[in-house]
Structure 1
Amino acid sequence: MIKIALIDDHEMMLNSLAKALQEQAKLDVVATFTDVASFQLFLKTTKIDLVIMDVMLKDETAFRVLENLRRSLTEMPKVILISGFYDALLHQRALKLGVQAFLRKEASYDELTRAIHEVMAGNILIPDKVFNQTDDEKLSEVELSVLKAMADEKTNAQIAEELFMSRRTVESHVTDICCKLGVNGRIGAVREGLKRKLIL
C-alpha cells in the first residue's frame, strides 16, 4: 500500500480528494490536514510514502513548507504539488525542492492516480515547457528572495541586512531582476512578479 498524506486549506476539496483516492486499490490516505503546523508535526513522527499538497496554503506556501521539511526531516517523502494555476518558473522552483510532480487542480482523479504511480516508480513528471525558457529569463533563488523582499516594501539596505549581502550586491540583483522581467523599476518588478506568480 502507498501511504499518503494530504494537505489543503479547503476542507471540501480535501475531503473529496481523500475519498476518491481511498477508493483506489493500493492507495491508503493515512491523514489529511488543513493547517501546516499539524502537518509538519505529523511528518516528523510518522513515515509515509507520498505527500499531495496544494501550492497555496493558509498563511503559507508549499515552497516554504517544503524548505522547512527538508531541513527537519532525515528522509523526505515523495511530493506531488497541486495548483489552481500553472507557471513554468514555479514548476522549476518545485523541482529544485525535490517535488516529483506538479499538477493543475483541473486534472482528473485518473490523471492524479497515474501520477502517483509514476512518482512512486521513481519518475519525475516534467512538462516540456518547463525547460523552454532561456536561462536569461529565469530568476535565481537569490533573485526570487530579493524580489519577495521588494514586494514586502523593504529598502535595499534592509534587504542587504536580511540576506547577508552588501547593498551594492542588492542593487545589482534588483537591476538584473528588472532586466529579466522586462520592467524599468522596483514597482514594475513586483507587479510582474505577482503576475507571473513568482511571489505569492
Structure 2
Amino acid sequence: MAEPSTTPIRLLIADDHPIVRDGIRGMFAGDPDFEVLGEAADGARAVELARALSPDVILMDLRMPGTDGVAAIKELARLGSAARVLVLTTYDTDRDVLPAIEAGATGYLLKDTGRDELVRAVRTAARGEAVLSPSVATRLLGQVRTPADPLSTRELEVLRLIAEGGTNREIAARLFISEATVKSHVLHIYTKLGVNDRAAAVAAAFRRGLLTTDGA
C-alpha cells in the first residue's frame, strides 16, 4: 500500500451542479493524501479561486454557464497558473475533447469514472503527466491516424473571408451566394475543424496550414 504523501494534493472542484461537486468532494473526504480547497460553479470563479488558493489540480467540468471550462483553461494558461487541469465531464465528442486538450488540460476523464480511477488520475495529473479516459484516448488516436475531412474549395473561400473579418452577409455578397448557404458552409467548417466559433476556426486553420499569413 502506498505511503501517504507528506503534503496532500490540493484540489479545486469546478462544476455547475452542487450534487456533482458534493459527490467529487466525498470521493476525497477523509483521505490524508488530498485536500479540497474550494468549489466553483463556473469557469470565472474557478480562475478566481485558482489564483487565490493555488491548487495542485483543478477538476474542471466543461459545459458551465458563463465562462465555460475551455475558456477557464485558456485563462489559467494565460495567467501562468501552475495548477494542472483535469477535465471531468459527460462529453467525449471532438468538439469537447480537442479544444480542452489544445487549451492546456493535463487530462480528460468522463463522469462515469470510478473513485479509484479518479484518485489515480489526480495523482498522475499532479505529477504533470497526461491522463485520458479510454474513449478519449481512442478518439485522439483516431484524429492522428485519420486525417480530418478536407475542406471543400468553397469552404476554404468562406474560411479565408472569415479570417478577414467578414460577416455572413458580407461573405454572401462577395461570393454571390445566400446568407443561408454561407451559414451552412460555416457549420460544416466548424464540424470538420472540431471547433465552436469563428475565432477558433481561424486559429485551427492557421495551425493546420489551411491559411497562411500571406493569404495563400
- TM-score normalised over the length of structure 2: 0.64
Given candidates 55, 58, 62, the residue that maps to 2:65 is: 58
Listed as ranges, the gaps of 5+ residues in structure 1 are: 148-155, 172-183
The aligned residue for residue 137 of structure 1 is: 149
Give percent identity, aligned residues only: 18
**Structure whose CA Rg is larger:** 2
2:12 is the counterpart of 1:5 = yes
Which amino acid is the alignment partner of residue 131 of structure 1? Answer: L
The superposition leaves residues 114-133 of structure 1 with CA deviations (integer Å, 9 ceiling, x where unpaired) of: 11112223321241330212
Listed as ranges, the gaps of 5+ residues in structure 2 are: 1-7, 172-180, 198-216
What is the CA–CA distance in structure 2 between the aligned matches of 1:60 and 1:37, rounded to whole Å?
5
Which amino acid is the alignment partner of residue 140 of structure 2? Answer: V
What's the RMSD between the two structures over aligned residues? 3.6
The superposition leaves residues 97-145 of structure 1 with CA deviations (integer Å, 9 ceiling, x where unpaired) of: 2211111111112211111112223321241330212333389xxx9xx
What is the CA–CA distance in structure 2 between the aligned matches of 1:76 and 1:197, rounded to whole Å?
27
- TM-score normalised over the length of structure 1: 0.68
Given candidates 18, 29, 42, the residue that maps to 2:25 is: 18
Which amino acid is the alignment partner of residue 129 of structure 1? Answer: R
Which amino acid is the alignment partner of residue 31 of structure 1? Answer: G
The aligned residue for residue 88 of structure 2 is: 82
Contact 2:106 2:130 in 1 (8 A): yes
Alignment: residue pair count: 168
The aligned residue for residue 41 of structure 2 is: 34
What is the CA–CA distance in structure 1 between the aligned matches of 2:32 and 2:189, rounded to whole Å?
44
The superposition leaves residues 1-55 of structure 1 with CA deviations (integer Å, 9 ceiling, x where unpaired) of: 1000001100111112112122334011011111333322222222110100111
What is the CA–CA distance in structure 2 between the aligned matches of 1:193 and 1:109, rounded to whole Å?
35
The aligned residue for residue 181 of structure 1 is: none
What is the CA–CA distance in structure 2 between the aligned matches of 1:35 and 1:93, rounded to whole Å?
18
What is the CA–CA distance in structure 2 between the aligned matches of 1:35 and 1:136, rounded to whole Å?
32
Which amino acid is the alignment partner of residue 70 of structure 1? Answer: A
